Every structure is written in C-alpha cells, then in structure tokens.
Amino acid sequence: MSRPLAVVCLAAGLGKRTKVSIPKVLLPLCGRTLLACSLDATDTLNPQRTIVVVHHQKEKVIASVADRANTVCVDQGKPLGTGHAVKVAMQALADFDGDVLVTYGDCPLIAGMTLQQLVASRGFAPCSVLTAYPEDPSGLGRILRDDDGRFVGIREDRDCDDEQRAIDEINAGFYCFDAKTLRPALEKLQPNNAQGELYLTDVIAQFVAAGREVPTLEAEDSGDIQGVNSLADLAMARVVMQERILLEHLMRGVMIEDPSSTYIDFGVEIGADTRILPCTVIGKGCKIGSHCEVGPFAHLRAGTVLEDGAEIGNFVEAKKSHLGAGSKAKHLTYLGDAVVGAKANIGAGTITANYDGVNKHTTRIGDGCFVGSGTVIVAPSDLGARSMTGAGAVVKRGSKIGADEVWVGVPAKLLKQRDPATIKPSNQAKETR
C-alpha cells in the first residue's frame, strides 16, 4: 500500500540537561547533527513534505536544514506539549492527505527501515505505534494490553500502579497517523494534566475509546529509539553510530585493523583493499581510493582526497588536500590546502604553511616530486613535476619551482637541475620510508 507521506519532526526542545549553549538537536554526532541523523532516516522513505517544529534558538536550527528539499520549519511558540507541537505542524499540512509520521530531532539512532515498517503497519487504522523492550523501562510510558494482547492504551510512568510499572514494553514515541483522522482528534485535546500541556498520547486514547484498532510495531533494537537528553546520552549514541559506520566500511572491503581506536565520520568514502591502521581519525567528506593506507595516528580532515594507492602515515594531518595516485606522506607532516600529484614523496616533518593570518592559500606539488624532510612550503607556492627540496628547506611564499629543479636552503634557492634519467620510481618508494 503506497500513500503520500509527510514527516513531522519535533525539534523545539530546550535541552537543559546538556548544559551547553548549542541547541540540543544540533549537537554533533559522527559528522552530522542529531537532527540531521533523524532527518536522514526519514529521507529514506521519500516523504513528499517534512515539517520541522522549532522554537529554542530557532534561527540556528532553521539554518541547519535550509538546503533540505521539501523541508519547512514552523515555530511552535511557547512549547505546550507534543500534542501542541503536532497541531502546529498540521497547520502547515492543511492540504495534505495521507500518512503523517511523527519523529524526533533528538533520536539520532532510529533506522529508516523501522520507520518504513511503522508506516506500513498502519494499514487502514487511524494510527500505528512503535514500541520497544529496553533493558530499563523506568521513567517511560508503558504499553497497556488486554487479555488477548490487543493494544488498549499508554500509561505514563508517573501514573502507573505497581502492576503496570512492572510492564517491560514501552511507548517509543514514534507514530504514523492518518492525516484526516488526526486533525479532528488534535482539536479535541485538553490540557488535563498538572503541566497544562497537550499530550499526543491523548489522541491515541481517543481512538481506543472510540473502539478503533491501533496496531503496534516492536522495534527490533530498543537502542534505535534512544533519545539524547544529556552529553552522557550523546557519548553512548556516538558509540552505537560509530560501530554502524565502521561495520559498513568493513562489509565493503575496507581493512580496519582496530575498530576500537578508529573514528570515521558519516559520509566518508573508502575504496576496497584500503588499510586503516589504529588511532586514525577521518572526518566527514573525505574520499579515499582503493589500495590506500592511512595511519596509524593519522588525521584526515574535511575535503581531503586520496587517490588509489596513496598513503598517509603516522602523525600526519591533512586538511582539504588532494594526494594523487601512489603519493606518500608517511611521517609527522601537515598538509593543508595542498594539491599533490601522482607518485610524490612528502618527507617527514613537511609543513604546507597555508594560512597567512587572514586567508588560506594552496600549495601545488607536482607529479613525482621529492619533498625533503623538514621542508616548510609557504603558500601559495608551486613545485613542478619531479622537483626536489633539500632537508630543512624553507620555500618562500609565491615561489615557483620548475620541473626537475632542486631547491635547498633558508630561504630555498635553486641548486641544480635533476637528471630525469636518474629518477626511478622504485627508489622513490624506498626513500619514502
């Protein structure tokens, strides 16, 4: 059964328990925000429209989703409960008819497949409810069932008696509604609680009271529905998310020698037969070819590209740099805004000094270059194909070293021309180490 789908993502919370100034839904998690993780999951369902309900630091949250297609933010105003938030969102969906999936901007681990199953489980019912069996259900709303196992309601933990509190099936808080049925039910909500709020669970109670069947779906992994309310929660979510990312790379033929000490952000591309050695950090947006080697103790930052066979070794940091096929930087090096050709050798202790205090500049190192140990290249500078610098050379800003030239000294100056006939790729490989 295929129906139009709209997503309502609740992201208006203050997040007091995080104790930080960043809006909770914008906390970072393996290269994405919590909100982005949640929306990426719903995007796999190809919704026609996505409504993000915002309020706290709304300008920042709105800016974070500005480039998402078919996504609109609405301000909840003074938050008055989940029912109120969805009611505000439905005003932006006044002309929508179909499934309305309710999710949360602080639940980054939810899987797209789980949400797809939740939508499918609604059938012709007014609503479907996601449930779970966490190790510790305390503090969470319990799922109530009759003697035949049929869903009959949700009871908040504070309202449970001892028998109900012993129930281990909980309300995960994710729902799929029929839009036409949801609208009038929201209008009937009353703030019949000490907080004076409108609860979305009261909508479901209306359906049950009217004798309507409400199907439920059990999440296969209760960890998927875990919300982030504190930095401790964030740290635990990061462990789960990182494990998922590493497993995906392993299944694609990437040899990660020690996953427990390897950190790879979401959105990193790595080719098969590449080795990732221990204590390596690879940031979002990096692209690594096949048969490469990275680490140990290496840090690849955003925008870095390694072509097939390139190698980044111990205590090397690369930022927004491109290494050509077979090029190597094996020891104690910083490559910032560098474009390195194929089969170049970057000696130990090399620095591309890319920042002049105001702007970043590019260093270009040609095919087959040999950069001597301890070289400092002040950008912008160009090193021609097969050129060479001596150990400890300082290449001044704006230098243009010609093909096959050897520069040495402080500041570096032309010493001689290399004889191309004497340059052997096999020697370069040996000199790298």
Active site residue 299: no
* Cβ atoms of 355 and 338 closer than 8 Å: no
* Cβ atoms of 55 and 12 closer than 8 Å: yes
Q: Nearest-CA neighbor of 91 among 166, 11, 6, 29?
A: 6
* Residue listed under structure tokens 């529905």: 225
> Among the residues of 391-433, which ranges form H helices?
425-432
CA angle at residue 68 from 64 to 71, to 5 degrees?
95
* Cβ atoms of 88 and 45 closer than 8 Å: no
Q: How far apart are alpha carbons 384 and 325 in whole angstroms?
A: 17
Q: Cα–Cα distances in Å, from 150 out to 124, 147, 158?
A: 16, 7, 23
DSSP states along 220-279: S-GGGG----SHHHHHHHHHHHHHHHHHHHHHTT-EES-GGG-EE-TT-EE-TT-EE-SS
Sheet holding 311-314, edge to edge: 255-256, 275-276, 293-294, 311-314, 328-331, 345-346, 370-371, 388-389, 405-408, 413-417
Beta-sheet strands, E only, within 37-119: 49-54, 71-75, 99-104
Orientation angle between helical segments 201-209 and 179-187, nearest 10 degrees: 100
Active-site choice (55, 291, 322, 331): 331
Question: Taking the chain, what is the end-to-end CA distance rounded to the nearest angstrom?
Answer: 61
Phi-psi region of 47 (alpha: psi -120 to 50; beta: other; left: phi over 0): beta
Q: Nearest-CA neighbor of 321 among 360, 295, 371?
A: 360
Contacts by 282-290, CB closer than 8 A, 24 or more apart: 283/31, 284/31, 284/32, 285/31, 289/325
Q: Nearest-CA neighbor of 37 among 303, 241, 281?
A: 241
Active site residues: 331
